[in-house]
Amino acid sequence: MSSEAGSDVPERLLREVAASAAEFERALRLAWPDGVERIGGGAFLLRDGPLCLRIRIRPDGVRRIGLLELPRLAVSYAFEGADATARARMLARLDLGMRRGGG
């Protein structure tokens, strides 16, 4: 196993994301232009050689910060077919591509 930083990405992980389902899908397609397959019911499939990533999103309420309300999603990632280093590379690429501006 590589000593690459972040190479300890597990096969399954959960995240909370402040976005609507439409915003998440749009950002996902921009981050992974090689092809995002929508498999229905808030589920997506990404492939990169032998690595496959199944993503499932579901609404998880609203985050309120003062008067600001942000839709919230529970997002599960399930990697198949690669080691932790390959998972880390794919997740880093997704995170970079899906990052939004802010202050």
SS3 state of residue 103: coil
In a domain, 78, yes or no: yes
Tally of domains within the chain: 1
| pLDDT tens-place string over residues 26-45 | 999 999 988 899 998 899 99
Alpha helices in 3-103 (DSSP H): 21-31, 84-98
List C-alpha distances in Å: 11 to 6, 19, 28, 31: 13, 23, 19, 20
Single pTM value for the model: 0.85
Are the CB atoms for 18 and 75 separated by under 8 Å? no
Q: Assign residue 55 the CATH number of its domain.
A: 3.30.1370.80
Can you tell me the distance from the alpha carbon of 59 to that of 75, in angstroms, rounded to the nearest whole number?
9
In a domain, 40, yes or no: yes
Could you list the residue range(s) of the whole structural domain that residue 29 is in? 12-98
| pLDDT tens-place string over residues 35-88 | 899 998 899 999 988 899 999 999 999 999 999 999 999 999 999 988 889 999
Q: In which element (H, E) is residue 18 found?
A: strand 12-18
